Each structure stands twice: as structure tokens, then as C-alpha cells.
Chain A
Amino acid sequence: MEIILSAAIGILSASGIWLVLRPRSFQVVIGLCLLSYAVNLFIFSMGRLTPGAPPIMPKGGFIDPTLYADPLPQALVLTAIVISFATTALFLVVMIVSRGLTGTDHVDGKERSQ
């Protein structure tokens, strides 16, 4: 499982990095989305993989933390998901406004000069 997930993180981030370095604004937006998946999974995996033990407690009594998944990376990632939605929205709007303003979808607002 660990091999699969780390390979997945690698592929997601490689695709994201490649797209972020592209010249068209839509590519960069998609790249950032892919990168945010990769990073979220990466942070999440720092809590190790624990199938079938969500951090939902019984009401009271002794609690053995080793029986549950680590809640901290989950909390971090939860807010990261919402924030990355917000940044995607912002980039998207900047992208279409810039396209309307400059007439090109190049990230610099002008085509590469030869």
C-alpha cells in the first residue's frame, strides 16, 4: 500500500510541477490543483496509513491512541482542502480577467517574444 501511495504522490506532484512550469494560464491552474492533491496526500501520509480506524472516540473511558489514525494531519489537510479551493477560484478569476484584458492566455500577459 505504501509503495502505491508514494508512487501516486510522486506522479501527482510530477504532473503538477510540469504543468506549473507551462506557459498557458489554464495549465498552471490545473497544475496547482494537482499539486494540492499531492501535497494534501503527502501531509496526510505523514500520520502513517491506518485503514479502518477513524479518529472517532468513545464517550469517556480510557483511550489508547495507537488504535486510531493520527488526527493531526487530517485536521491540517481539512483546512488545506478548503483553502486550495479558494486559491483555485482566485487564480481562475485572475486567469479569465487577464485573458479579457490582454487578449492572450500566456501567464505573462503577452506571448513570448522571439
Chain B
Amino acid sequence: MAEHNLFLLLACLPFATSLILLTLPQGARGASSWLSALSMAGGLAVLFAFLPEIQAGNVLRARLEWVPSLGMNMALRMDGFAWLFATLVLSIGLLVVIYARYYMGRNDSLPRFYALLLAFTGAMQGILISGNVLVMVVFWELTSFMSFLLIGFWHQGAAARDGARTALIITALGGLCLLVAMLMLGHAAGSYDLGMILRAGEKIRAHSLYGPMLALFLMGAFTKSAQFPFHFWLPGAMAAPTPVSAFLHSATMVKAGVFLLVRFAPVLGGTEAWFFAVTGAGCVTLVLGAVVALYRHDLKGLLAYSTISHLGLITALAGIGGRVALLAAIFHICNHAVFKASLFMAAGIIDHETGTRDMRRLSGLFRPMPYTATLAIVAAAAMAGVPLLNGFLSKEMFFAEAVDWHNGTWLDDALPYFAIVGSSLSVAYSLRFIATVFFGPQATDLPKPPHEPPAWMRRPVELLVLICLLVGIFPALTLGPIINTAARSVAGADMPYYKIAVWHGVNAPLMMSLAALGVGTLIYALSAKSISDGPEGPFLLHRIRGQRVYDWLLFRLTWRLPRLALRWLSTEALQPQLRLLVLTAIAVACGALWGALSFASDLRLHAPNPGFGLLWLVGAACAIGAAWQAKYHRFAALVLLGGAGVVTCLTFAWFSSPDLALTQLLVEVATTVLLLLGLRWLPKRRSEIAEDKLLPAKVRRARDLVIAVIGGLGIASIAFAMMTRPLISNLGDWFLGNAYYEGGGTNVVNVILVDFRAFDTFGEIAVLAIVGLTVYALLRRFRPAPESVEAPDQQTLADSPSLDDYLYVPSVVMVWMFPVLIMVAGYFFFRGHDLPGGGFAAGVTLAIAFLVQYIGTNVRWVESRITVLPIRWMGIGLLVSVATGMGAWLFGYPFLTAHARYVHIPLVGEVPAATALLFDIGVFATVVGAVVLMLVAIAHQSLRASRRREMDEAAAARKEVA
């Protein structure tokens, strides 16, 4: 159990530290570096506590349920390979933390830097130790994301932003491919558990989806480990602070790709497709990266391409996929991480102390910085594969594999040559690095006078170089056992112990090493002059840049194409959009009903009532008239709209729906007043729009008329077909049967609203409140059209009747009606549960009562007498309904469960006292608030306009006086 918890702690520690670091103040340099270093060291301590178990060949597991329904558990799993890799990540991480403390400048926020670094470490570690492939992909994408933030840490620079974006796009795209691959893999293996998948190699390779699975998997691995042709993001990422480069491009980010290749080589590998794709890409990358590295003038550029080249080597080994090849791959992963991290740090020191990384300017640095130079020379020698250094051993194992291993293909035959060419070039660029930077005449025009860095900035490099030497000289004593454990956990527990030795006697690999050293020296000696004068690439090849192709593609795909598509497929104009909407609706209805729309054989008809027919004759005339007049005669259209509304209301009443009729009538009043108030701010159209008489406008109108007629006919026929069918028993019957027993009310419509479907109603009043607030907010900064700012004619004409007596009698009546209307509202409210009425109707009635006061007198008169605070009404209403709903929790029922009973009130009689009534109070208050808020907000515009007019007049008067 302790082990289980320690494992979880290991997984969470970097993330937790990262969160703490984010809370530290910007200037906390010491505290943040100590905290980060302690976190890394803590992780290492946990790892070393696991060492005995790992050495015994056991697999550690921990497990948390996450999304069990998707087979996604937070499963952790650690075997020898994961242990070795995690140790590598945390050790180099610790050294990078120390190094960064001295590297990062005063102006950089160290806590932020460390927070990102730790989060990245956590994500990287997550890839290594996750025991579920889907979780692994999540961590995989997290590393892409965190590396984006790290590479773009100096986001003030365009290069950093571009580099970060490229890295993110390429690696995250690969991550998506990997996700699909993992889904297929899990599907083929029958489980997303890593252990199960690793055991299901046979089944997966025989699966019909093996081809696409492999392609997608390799897309993920190759983009991450910068294999050709996805290599170009890595040089761009050199815009990152050097500690980031030292971490990401030695032990972590790019190594995640090769980690995946090695991990899954026994599962997906062993086929010809795997060999050609992986070893092929590896060999091309190995040679190409080495060639370009030789030509780079930027120190970090050289290291970046060298990293690409070495990753190619590891990939080639993973492609071979034999047991020894996998062991060699793991060994080279470690060795490369050690010497490349030290080289990046050395390059950072040089950059930090001289102010430049351009190898054409750097020269003769051995004299001013002898320690750093010695360290860098040893590390570079390890990179070149000089004997007695760690790079030599793993490279020789690669040679041995290239020579000894055969599967009879042409690529297999070519492998030794690729190996030789790659390592010769590796020797050449290492030599160039050593010779140009440290030897020759001492440079005099450097931005800063070079000198040794602070001792603690050099310590990490010293330690890493020491490891290079120790591993190079005593491989069997140092890394031998754990490399074997790691290889065994990947390639199978029955793998015999492989003894890594410095001296194997005079054999082919040794000859190849010597040849590579000789040829590499020769290449450098012959081309040193032309390289430093030439462009950053070999003959003609420097013109073909992956980055440029990528930029071109990116520009096309993310800038040109979307805009083209937008121009062709979309419009900002409302009319075409609405037309499309209507046409689509018609098309969908036709598609669904084509051939299916039939009328019942026995039509269920009521005898036509002439009164009803007459009613709708008026209604139809009103509707058509409104449509006819809405453009030039808005007021007429508004009156006609009201007519159609009243007829609708009467129809509701006719067909047994008193609640609807009541609500429709009240809302009709409010809508009409609202539109009238709005019309005041919509300037009158004084002349005809000339364009209307032209042919295109007529064609448009005719086309829309056709659409409208088709739409109307369609809806009418559907309605007729439905209405004439016999009614089948439905949900409504349940409501009818249970309204009284379950909801305690006899008005079923109201019981549905406030009890059975109260949650819906709650949503509706929330919408109403939101709309009220939106209207209020929109009108607060409202600037009316200039034409309507002036007082209306009725107020300005000299011979108009005095406004004092305007509507005098009606206004007195309206004021007297106020208490009556309140009474009516109360009546509607209380009888609502049993008879037509309810919160909605009562709310609108009360709002109309207020409104009538505004109409009858004026804003100032009303507001000096009653204060309505609509926003509070709304707020209290919403709170009351939520509280009623939550009250049910107290009694252990779900949200909004209602309780119903009748209480006897003296004089009034039996009153339904359901909790639904409380809920209805909420509805009532919200409706009052929202309606009053909207109407008053519009009404107040007149007040604002007249105030503004008065101020303008006063200003004009002052000007005249002056």
C-alpha cells in the first residue's frame, strides 16, 4: 500500500509543485529554484526506493478510477524501461533547474518558468508511467502543450512565438494521429491497458486495421521525435531559453517519440512494413540531420540538427527491433541525453558569457574559459563517438547491429553504409564545433568579454561530463545492469544478459568506428573554409526548407482557404441566411413527409361555425394586411398585428383553453405597448425607397412570396392532417388523471407548469429575466437616431392643444384602475392552481397595472409616487423559485418536488396551499420584474431625450449670452 501511494505521489508531485510555484511572487528566485529542485530530487528519491523491486523484474502498478465507462482508468505502471527513462528525466530535470537558476536573467519570471518546466516534467513522466494508452495520449498532448509554453517563454520575440506555434501544430497533430492509433490498438487488443496491449502483439499484427494503425502510430512518434519529414519544428524550437532546449531536446520531448517506438516495437514491430518505415525514416534522418548540422553557423542550430540525426539513429535501431537492437536503442537514449544536455548547457554558457552563438564570430575561447572548453570538448567527443566515452559504446552497438542483423532486404544491405556516413558526418560537425569555437585566434569583437561562468552554472555540466566518462570507461559497472533490466522489460523477461564492454577485440564495428573518425576528420579538414563562408546548408539543399513548405501550407490552409470558403459558402447578410433557413426547413419537411403525408380515411371534423369563419376572415385579413403594410405604414401594421393577435386569443378561448386565451390577451397588451414605445425611436420613413420599384426588387419579392406560399401551404396541410386524425391516448391523459391527486390542483395546465414540469418553467423565467436584463443593458447606452431625437410634432406645434389637459379623463380613470388591477392580479394568482390564471397571467396583469400609470400620466409623476424596482422583483422571484425547489431537498426529495394541500382561511374558504404556489410566487415576481423592466427602460428614453434637449438648449443659451 505504501508503494502504491508513493507511486501516486511520484505522478502528482511535479504538477502539485507547479501549482505552488504559480502562486509565488515574480521575484522569488531563490525560493522557486529550491522548491523545483526539491521536487525533482523528491521524485528521484521515490524512484530509488523502487529500484530493488524494478531490479527484481517486477512491474509496479497503481490505479485510480477516472472514466470507467470509457475504459479510461488512471492506471499507472512502471517497469524497468519506464523506471530508467523516468530517472533520466528527473535527473536531467534537476540539473536543468540548477542551471536555469543562473542562466535566466533578472527580468525573467523564474517562478513562472519553473512552474511550466515542472508541469512539463509531470506530463513527460506521465507518458512514461501511464498504464493506460488513452491516458498516455492525454499526457502526450500535455507535453506538446507545455512545450509550446516553454518554447514560447520569451514570447516578446517573434521567433519564439513562431517556433512555439510550429512545434505545437506539428506535435499536437501527431498526437491526434496517435490518439486514433491508440483507439485502434485498444480495439484490436480488446483493452486499453498497456500491459494487455504489450501481450497482444500477435493479435494486433494480424488485425485487419494493422496498416492504418501503424501509419497513424508512426505519425505520432515521428512528429514528436522530429523524424524526417517532420524534423523542421525542432530547429525552430531553438528560440527557447537554453535550459528548455537542454531539457526538451536531450531527455524529454523528442525522446518521448523514441520511447514510444521502443515501447511498442515488440507489439507493432517485426513486420516488413515496420522495418521499412521506421528504419528507413531513421536512416534518412540520421544522414540528413548530420549533413545539415555540419553547415549550421548557429551553435544551437548545430546541436538541434545533431539531435535530429541522433534521434534518427535511435529510430533506426527501433526499426530493426531485435533484442540487442532495442537494448542499444535504450542505451543510446541515455547516452545521447547525457552528452546532449551537457552540450546544450555549454552552448548556453558560451551564449551567456559572450553574447553570441554564431560560430563565425566565436573563436579561441579555450584561453578565456578553459574549464568550460574542456567540458564541452569531452562532451562533443562523446557525441562524435570517440572511444572511452559513452557515445562510442552505443554507436558501436549500432554498427554491430547494422552489420550482423539481416532480413535480406535492400535497406538491410544499405544499413552499414548509412551508419558509416552518418557517423563520419557526426565526427565532422563535432570537430567543427570544437575547432571553431575553442581554437584559433581569440575573437576580439564579441558583444561581451568572455570569461568563466559562475561555478554553479558549470556544476551540472561537470556532472554530466563525468557521467560520460564513467559510462564510457566502466559501462558494465555503471549502466550495464539497469540497461539490461530495461531492455528485458521491453523485449521479454527471457532475454539473456548482454554484457556491455569497451573492448570486443578487432572486429567490423571497431573498423567502422575508426573509419568514421578518419573520414569525418577528412571531411572537416577539406570543407572547413567553404562551410564557414557559405550558406547554412550544402549545395542547393539549403534552398529546400521544410519550414518554408510548412509555412506555405499553413498559410494556405489557415488563412487563404478559410477566407475563400467564407466568401463562397457564407454571407454576413441576414436575408440569404433566413431564406436558406426557411428553404432548409421546407426541404426537411418535404423529405420527411414525402409520400408519408396522408389524411385519415375517416376525417374527424367539427361542423364549421360561421362565426368562427368570420372571425378568421378578419384574422387572415389582418395578417395579410400587416405583411402588406409593415414597410411604409408601421403603425397600421402594428394595429393589424394586434387584430391577428386578438383573433388568435379568441381561438384559444373557443377551443377550451382559457389559460392560453387569458395569457395571450394580457401579453398582447404588453406587446402592443412595447412596440408603440419602440416606434417612437424608429424614425418615420418619409419617402418611398426608389429601389423598390426596380425589377430586381420585384423579382426578390415574387421569389419570397413563392417561398412563403409554399411554406404556408405546407404548414396548413400538416396541421389539417394532424387535426383530423383521431386522438390517441398520450401523456396528456396522465396529466389529466393525476393533476389533482399528485399536484393538488384542478387546473391541469397550471399544475403542469408549476409542478409536473416546474423545472422547464424555471428555465423559462430565467430566460425572461436574462432578456429583461439584456434589454435594460442595451438601452443604457442607447443613442437614438438623430431624426427622432427632437420632440415629436404633437409636443412642438404652437397651435396644438395644451398638453396639460392631454388625456385628462382617461388618465384619472387609469389612476383609479390601479388598485382594481392589483386586485385582479391577486385574483388570477390565487385561483391559478384550480381555475384559469396563475403566475404568468397575474405577473403580466400587475405589470400592465404599472404600465397603465405610465401611460395615463407621465414618467415623472408616476416615479415620484411609486417606486418599482424591477431588477429586485426579478432577483427575488428567481431566488424564491430556486429556494422552493431546493426546499424539497430538506425532505429528501429531488429538486422542485412539490407538496400540495388545502388550508381553510376564514372568510376566503378553502385555499390550495401547495408548495407549487410558492414556486408560482417566484414565477409571478420574475414576470412582473422582467416585463416592467423592459417597458420602463424604453419609456425612460423619452425622459433622457428631453433631459438632453434641455441641456442642449441651456448650452445654446449660454453661448448666446457669451
Residues of A within 8 A of B (CB): 1-24, 26-31, 33-34, 37-38, 40-42, 44-60, 63, 65-66, 68-75, 77-79, 81-83, 85-90, 92-97, 99-101, 103, 105, 107-108, 112
Asked if residues A14 and B712 are in contact (CB atoms below 8 Å), the reply is yes
Contact of B724 with A by CB under 8 A: yes
Contact partner of B727 (CB less than 8 A), chosen from A9, A26, A48, is A48
Contact partner of A82 (CB less than 8 A), chosen from B631, B667, B717, B725, is B667
Asked if residues B840 and A29 are in contact (CB atoms below 8 Å), the reply is no
State A65–B731 Cα separation when bound (angstroms).
Answer: 10
Please, which residues of chain A bring their CB within 8 A of the CB of B772? 86
Main secondary structure of the interface of A (DSSP, over half): helix
20 further interface pairs, Cβ-Cβ under 8 Å (given A47-B732, A83-B767, A100-B782): A1-B606, A9-B719, A10-B719, A13-B716, A15-B623, A17-B582, A19-B626, A21-B575, A22-B575, A22-B631, A26-B634, A45-B719, A49-B655, A50-B655, A52-B656, A75-B749, A78-B660, A81-B660, A82-B663, A88-B675
Asked if residues A90 and B683 are in contact (CB atoms below 8 Å), the reply is no
Please, which residues of chain B bring their CB within 8 A of the CB of A26? 630-631, 634, 637, 682
Please, which residues of chain A bring their CB within 8 A of the CB of B905? none
Contact of B574 with A by CB under 8 A: yes
Please, which residues of chain A bring their CB within 8 A of the CB of B644? 12, 34, 37
Please, which residues of chain B bring their CB within 8 A of the CB of A34? 623, 626-627, 641, 644
Asked if residues A99 and B627 are in contact (CB atoms below 8 Å), the reply is no
B710 to chain A, nearest CB (A): 9
State A12–B712 Cα separation when bound (angstroms).
Answer: 8
Contact partner of A27 (CB less than 8 A), chosen from B631, B659, B720, is B631
Asked if residues A18 and B708 are in contact (CB atoms below 8 Å), the reply is yes
Contact partner of B836 (CB less than 8 A), chosen from A54, A99, A108, is A54
Asked if residues A58 and B764 are in contact (CB atoms below 8 Å), the reply is no
Asked if residues B623 and A12 are in contact (CB atoms below 8 Å), the reply is yes
Task: Rank and list the top 6 A-B pairs by shortest CB-CB distance, nearest first.
Answer: A14-B712, A10-B716, A65-B733, A18-B708, A6-B720, A15-B627
Q: What are 9 A-B contacts with C-beta separation under 8 Å?
A: A8-B616, A9-B719, A19-B630, A21-B708, A34-B627, A51-B654, A55-B739, A85-B670, A107-B573
Contact partner of A56 (CB less than 8 A), chosen from B624, B752, B835, B938, is B835
A92 to chain B, nearest CB (A): 4
State A53–B579 Cα separation when bound (angstroms).
Answer: 40
Asked if residues A24 and B711 are in contact (CB atoms below 8 Å), the reply is no
Asked if residues B753 and A79 are in contact (CB atoms below 8 Å), the reply is yes
Asked if residues A33 and B582 are in contact (CB atoms below 8 Å), the reply is no
Asked if residues A21 and B582 are in contact (CB atoms below 8 Å), the reply is yes
Known: A44-B657, A71-B749, A71-B752. A1 touches B574 (CB 8 A): no
Contact of B792 with A by CB under 8 A: no
Asked if residues B616 and A7 are in contact (CB atoms below 8 Å), the reply is yes
Q: Report the nearest B residue to A10, measured CB to CB.
A: B716
Please, which residues of chain B bring their CB within 8 A of the CB of A63? 736-737, 740
Residue of B719, B736, B749, B930 most packed against chain A (CB within 10 A): B719
Please, which residues of chain B bring their CB within 8 A of the CB of A108? 572-575
Asked if residues A17 and B711 are in contact (CB atoms below 8 Å), the reply is yes
Query: Quick one: which of B824-870 are within 8 Å of A by CB?
Result: 834-836, 840, 844
Known: A30-B637, A37-B645, A97-B779. A70 touches B732 (CB 8 A): yes
Known: A6-B720, A13-B715, A15-B708. A92 touches B674 (CB 8 A): yes
Asked if residues B760 and A53 are in contact (CB atoms below 8 Å), the reply is no
Asked if residues A97 and B778 are in contact (CB atoms below 8 Å), the reply is yes
Asked if residues B667 and A81 are in contact (CB atoms below 8 Å), the reply is yes
Please, which residues of chain A bring their CB within 8 A of the CB of B760? 79
State A12–B644 Cα separation when bound (angstroms).
Answer: 8
Asked if residues B732 and A93 are in contact (CB atoms below 8 Å), the reply is no
